[in-house]
């Protein structure tokens, strides 16, 4: 399974999530929570402790690779994101197809497909360019270090702000699963599914690098990405 890594950029740094991030994450999540209507964000130290422990359990089981999102300028923890739905295609063909663990040594295995999700940022970090660079770092790692064939993203179909932000990453809408699950508000929601394929990555990377390079964070806010 993939080993934890640090992914470092100019405005954002992604650190392997650990217990020492619990209190800083709780502080980040305690700011104005009005932008968290469509995604689960822990509230309070105890909830954040459970959140981190659940993420680390998923990592230990080989299902996820979670990060704390850090503002590079001062080291402030401003949110979290993760690789999830790690899928391995090595070995004999199985039918029906479905997510499978690595074949062979799990410590040296890398996934063939993954999803980026569980992304949230504190209000002070939204619109500053941190999200765009964090996604660039994650996509670059997935496609260029792991060599995945696809990266998936999803959002509550009602969350147009998140969907626009996902599309600005170069992701293609695959469709909306209608009445897919319950939302945080208890209502039955649809889920919009997106993906970027390996052959689409060079064009998406070029566009993302231009956005990161030419958009002064303090002057040109971006739409924050809150995904579910």
DSSP 4-68: P--EE-SSEEEEE--GGGHHHHHHHHTS--TT-TTS----SHHHHHHHHHHHHHHHHTTSEEEEE
- Given a cut of 80, whether residue 135 has pLDDT beyond it is yes
**13 occurs within a structural domain:** yes
| Two tokens, residue 62 | 């080989």
Query: pLDDT digits over 203-228, tens only?
Result: 999 999 999 988 654 433 444 444 54
Averaged over 88-105, what is the pLDDT?
A: 74
**2 occurs within a structural domain:** no
**73 occurs within a structural domain:** yes
**133 occurs within a structural domain:** yes
If one counts the domains in the chain, the total is 1
- Given a cut of 80, whether residue 92 has pLDDT beyond it is no
**223 occurs within a structural domain:** no
**222 occurs within a structural domain:** no
Minimum mean pLDDT range among 7-11, 30-34, 97-101: 97-101
Averaged over 69-84, what is the pLDDT?
A: 97
Average pLDDT, the chain: 90
Q: 178: domain range?
A: 7-214
pTM of the model: 0.90
pLDDT band at 93 (very low <50, low <70, confident <90, very high): confident
**80 occurs within a structural domain:** yes
| Two tokens, residue 126 | 């939204």
Report the C-alpha gap between 167 and 210 in whole angstroms: 16
The answer to whether the CB of 135 falls within 8 A of the CB of 169 is yes
Could you give the dihedral angle defined by the CA atoms of residues 6, 12, 17 and 19, in that order, rounded to the nearest 10 degrees? Answer: 120
CATH number for the domain spanning 199: value is 3.40.630.30
The answer to whether the CB of 162 falls within 8 A of the CB of 226 is yes
The answer to whether the CB of 109 falls within 8 A of the CB of 86 is no
**127 occurs within a structural domain:** yes
Report the C-alpha gap between 126 and 117 in whole angstroms: 16
More confident residue, 109 or 221: 109
More confident residue, 101 or 202: 202
Averaged over 91-111, what is the pLDDT?
A: 74
Whole-number pLDDT of residue 222:
43
Angle at Cα 12 formed by Cα 73 and Cα 120, nearest 5°?
Answer: 120
CA distances from 87 to 14, 63, 81 (A): 22, 8, 18
């Amino acid at each position: 399974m993939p080993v934890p890594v640090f992914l470092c950029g100019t405005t954002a740094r992604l650190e392997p999530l650990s217990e020492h991030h619990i209190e800083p994450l709780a502080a980040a999540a305690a700011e104005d929570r009005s932008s968290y209507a469509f995604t689960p964000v822990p509230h309070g130290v105890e909830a954040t402790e459970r959140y981190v422990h659940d993420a680390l359990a998923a990592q230990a089981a080989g299902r996820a690779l979670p990060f704390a999102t850090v503002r590079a300028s001062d080291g402030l923890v401003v949110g979290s994101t993760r690789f999830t739905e790690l899928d391995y295609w090595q070995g004999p063909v199985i039918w029906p197809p479905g997510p499978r663990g690595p074949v062979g040594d799990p410590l040296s295995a890398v996934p063939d497909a993954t999803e980026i999700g569980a992304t949230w940022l504190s209000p002070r970090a939204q619109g500053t360019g941190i999200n765009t660079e964090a996604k660039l770092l994650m996509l670059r790692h997935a496609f260029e270090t792991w060599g995945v064939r696809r990266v998936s993203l999803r959002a509550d179909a009602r969350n147009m702000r998140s969907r626009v932000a996902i599309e600005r990453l170069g992701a293609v809408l695959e469709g909306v699963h209608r009445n897919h699950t319950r939302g945080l508000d208890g209502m039955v929601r649809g889920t919009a599914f997106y993906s970027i394929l390996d052959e689409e990555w060079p064009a998406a990377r070029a566009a993302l690098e231009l956005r990161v390079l030419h958009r002064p964070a303090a002057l040109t806010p971006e739409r924050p990405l809150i995904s579910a």
